[in-house]
Amino acid sequence: MAELVGAFGLPHNPHFPSLVRDGAPLAEEVSEMYAKIADGLAAARPDVVLYITSDHYNLFFEALPLFMIGVAESAVGPSDYPSIPQREVAIDSELARHLQRQLVGHDFDVGCLQELTLDHTVIAPLSFIDPDGRFPLVPFFINAFLRPLPSASRCYALGHALRAALAAYPAADRVAVVASGSFSVEIGGPRVFEDAHVGVPDPAWTERVLELLRAADIETLVRESTDEQMAKAGNAAGEVLDWIAMLGMFEPKPPATLDVQPWFGHAYATWPAP
């Protein structure tokens, strides 16, 4: 029986690694916020990290699964941002294949990637929370970009099924889960700021998500994360589904830490020993 030893939510802005490297004005804040995740992850002492993210058309386009899990032995990335140093990430293939089998057994039609690359949504945060590659990953992908997206309730149920799948694992592994994504963000679309190619179309939604996280009212978060609301919040705002799947893996409780960058529409959260 594998044990969930920590849960974390974070953003994956592809420019943060170079911004910190170059000592830009936001560098200190970004470093400090990621450091809380890194500290929490280290304290959880996981054997493996289940990493829930959403591909940005780097892996999937011609064929577009709603749910997919990486079962290769390792993967290289990032595939999309040369400014982030390339690295090879070990994958716990055995656990990944177990999770896929168990999820399919729970009626979740999850496909598998026997060969894959990783994009900035994985590699950028890893450069802060696990720069030395201490933890093997199990990468899990939820379609948050090209509609139709899976529903929030389906993703929450997916989290429940992942929890049950961990409980059915023969080895006593310590597993942490990380959800990667923002709540309100538009990239390259019309709802961008006057001087940028990105924007935060619905800051009120970001505030609402944070309010519900603080209140541990996940049922309401699931109910309010409608397709219409996610579309209103930006063309990348479906990433809240990654968080909802992660939140489905443990009983609702307020995060121990919650740091917010509202002008990016995202947050950093930790749930130790959930």
* Interacting residue ranges for another protein, rule: CB under 8 A: 56-58, 61-62, 79-80, 145-146, 186-197, 199-201, 235-236, 263
Paired sense of beta strands 111-113 and 198-199, if any: unpaired
Cβ 84 to another protein, closest distance in Å?
A: 14
As measured in angstroms, the least distance from the Cβ of 179 to another protein is 20
Per the CB < 8 A criterion, the answer to whether 126 and 68 are in contact is no
In the bound complex, what is the minimum distance in angstroms from residue 101's beta carbon to another protein? 30
Q: Which is nearer to another protein, 200 or 244 (CB)?
A: 200
CB atoms near residue 28 (< 10 Å): 11
Nearer to another protein among residue 68 and residue 138 (C-beta):
68
The residue (of 97 and 191) whose beta carbon lies closer to another protein is 191
CB of 141 to another protein, least distance (A): 16
Q: Is 207 helix (H, G, I), strand (E, B) or coil?
A: helix
Q: With respect to another protein, which residue has the nearer C-beta, 62 or 107?
A: 62
Radius of gyration of the chain (CA): 17
Q: Locate 73 and state its tokens.
A: 């032995």
**Residue 6 Cβ, how far from another protein at the closest point, in Å?**
31
Task: Indicate the residue among 54 and 270 with the shorter CB distance to another protein.
Answer: 54
- The residues pairing with 91 across neighbouring beta strands, listed in sequence order, are 137
User: What does the alpha-carbon distance between residue 158 and residue 139 come to, in Å, rounded to a whole number?
Assistant: 15
SS3 of 18-33:
HHHHCCCCCHHHHHHH
